[in-house]
Amino acid sequence: MIERTAVIASTAGLHARPAALLAETAGDLDVEVTIARVGEPLDEAVDADSMLSLMSLGVEHGEAVVLRTEDDAATEALETLARILETNHDA
């Protein structure tokens, strides 16, 4: 399992626009990725390709989340998703 931590940059948090971008991008990847707040148990993670699940996390601006995948060769996939989260889509 590999992980990548990212801090939510959008001023309105992980709302519709960044959640849609993240879900669409995650859905296009050949790996399964989950996301959760830092420090939450693995069973609290949701699928990164589900916009509704992403929005249900209620993650705010400045909060840290962790992206995880079982595919040890998916570092670039996690980096791609982290870049979406670390971009302010409200500017």
Q: Which residues are catalytic, by number?
A: 15
Tokens in use for 22? Answer: 């993240």
Specify which residues 35 forms β-bridges with.
46, 67
Looking from the CA of 75 toward its CB, the CA atoms found within 13 Å total 2
Q: What angle do CA 75, 32, 80 make, to 5 degrees?
A: 40
